[in-house]
Amino acid sequence: MKTFAMMVLGCKVNDYEATYLRNKLLNDYKEVTFKEVADIYIIFTCCVTNIAEAKTRKMLHRARNLNPNAYIVAVGCLAQIKGKNEEFKDIDLVIGSNHKDEIYDLINKHFIGNKLEELNKPKFEKLFFDHYPGKSRAFLKIQDGCNQFCSYCIIPYARGSERSGNYVDLINQANLLSKTNKELVLTGIHTGRYFDGKNHLYDLLLGLNEIKELKTIRLSSIEINEISNSIIDLMKNNNKLAHHLHIPVQSASNKILKLMNRPYTIEEYINRINYIRKEIPDISISTDLIVGFPLEDDEAFEETLNNLFKIKFSFIHVFPYARKKGTKADSYSGHLDSSVKKQRVSKVFELEKNIEIEFKKSFINKKLELLIEKKDDQYVYGYVKQYFYVKAKGSGNIGDLVDVIIEEVNELEVLGHVA
């Protein structure tokens, strides 16, 4: 039996697409680790961080060294941007943001001697499968691509223009996954822009809501101006839609938001958050933030810190700005030293630490729902619907949703017991 090894870098969308391919390959091929000799090496690449880029190069090099005759496949964002350039010339198959539904056939064809080509036409591929092995929560890719062109972001170039999965196909796929996974995370590059020509995100949420076996539906990330009042109402009146929204703010200074080409002011962002919190008081709102963007002077950074303090996110993914060749921001003047960016990351961490703990403490003595990911003799472990990790005394099965009472919150963990 021929063997394959797979490495998945980057985001949930890569994870979803890789799971689709892995499930198909396992019918005909045996999986080995990326440290072993394999006939096929597949890398789902990422271009968002320099670390992911460096790791991709390292893995490609390792694959060629382990087996000079291996068939090497690079898939995803970095593959799309680099194409078959000097660095990637040694790779047999480069699949960028499209045609991922054809990789399996292309691999098979290779072993019967067909010539392979890099392909290039944008469409939403039907990457559907019936189970998500090894995960208590399954991802469902509903959308791909982005038309926003934020000035720092390479994704619209890498993933191409927006397209969405067909409503009926997605409901069918969700039905299949719900047999083994109680929680579904809706993923995409610009999820809030889901539109299949007839149905918007709200319609899809309504349809998913009807699936009996599905206990939790979670939106992975959504832009502030794409959370409609009907979505908020649905979330408020329906226990299935997790009370958690990840809403990238990216900066909390209007000057920087404008330079970033983000489509809102910080006042608009805060007003909308206030409205959401008024409607759904126990909601967790988290965010992504970039610090050290070109021309972010001390004043702009202070404005950001002050606004973060006002907003009080339940957690912040903070990144130092990284230059990306080909983006608008790369050509800006006023790039900052990495030492300044580092200091700003630490300041955000410092500010956020207590806010995060206070948020979790607001649930002490309250009942929350936890999806069990791990267990031992005394405890079950997993994320609650508000998306923080809890260690709860009691028992249950992996993949089950149980009620837990929160008892204690400290810097390291949140403790509770199964109700």
CB nearer ligand SF4, residue 288 or residue 403 = 288
For residues 301 and 254, the answer to whether their CB atoms sit within 8 Å is: no
Site for ligand SF4 in 231-270 (CB under 6 A): none
Cα separation, 331 vs 49, in Å, equals: 18
CB nearer ligand SF4, residue 190 or residue 360 = 190
Cα separation, 360 vs 316, in Å, equals: 14
Strand order in the sheet with 244-246: 244-246, 284-291, 315-320
User: Residue 306: phi, psi to the nearest 5?
Assistant: -60, -40
Residue among 156, 188, 292, 416 that touches ligand SF4 (CB under 6 A): 156
189 lies in the binding site for ligand SF4 (CB under 6 A): yes
Q: Which stretch binds ligand SF4 (CB under 6 A): 147-155, 278-286, 378-386, 407-415?
A: 147-155
To 10 degrees, what angle do helices 201-209 and 229-236 make?
Answer: 20
Residue among 25, 60, 95, 146 that touches ligand SF4 (CB under 6 A): 146
**Smallest gap from residue 53 Cβ to ligand SF4 (A):** 17
**Smallest gap from residue 152 Cβ to ligand SF4 (A):** 7
**Smallest gap from residue 323 Cβ to ligand SF4 (A):** 15
**Smallest gap from residue 34 Cβ to ligand SF4 (A):** 28
CB nearer ligand SF4, residue 150 or residue 217 = 150
Count interface residues toward ligand SF4 (CB under 6 A): 9
The SS3 of residue 69 is coil
Half-sphere exposure of 103 (CA within 13 A, CB side): 32
Q: Which stretch binds ligand SF4 (CB under 6 A): 2-10, 129-137, 143-151, 177-185?
A: 143-151
To 10 degrees, what angle do helices 12-25 and 103-111 make?
Answer: 40
Residue among 6, 138, 155, 316 that touches ligand SF4 (CB under 6 A): 155
Give the pairing of strands 93-95 and 137-141.
Answer: unpaired
CB nearer ligand SF4, residue 133 or residue 263 = 263
CB nearer ligand SF4, residue 150 or residue 370 = 150
Q: Which stretch binds ligand SF4 (CB under 6 A): 77-85, 98-106, 133-141, 151-159?
A: 151-159
Q: Give how far Cα 340 sits from Cα of 90, 211, 286, 335, 337, Å.
A: 38, 49, 24, 10, 5
Is the Cα torsion angle 180, 185, 186, 190 positive or negative in sign? negative
Q: Which two tokens stand for residue 416?
A: 């509770």
Residue among 25, 150, 256, 390 that touches ligand SF4 (CB under 6 A): 150
Is the Cα torsion angle 9, 14, 16, 18 positive or negative in sign? negative
Residue among 13, 153, 308, 380 that touches ligand SF4 (CB under 6 A): 153
The mark string for 190-229 relative to ligand SF4 (x by CB under 6 A, - otherwise) is x---------------------------------------
**Minimal CA–CA distance to 164: which of 129, 203, 212, 106?**
203
CB nearer ligand SF4, residue 292 or residue 416 = 292
> Which spans of this chain sit near ligand SF4 (rule: CB under 6 A)?
146, 148-150, 153, 155-156, 189-190
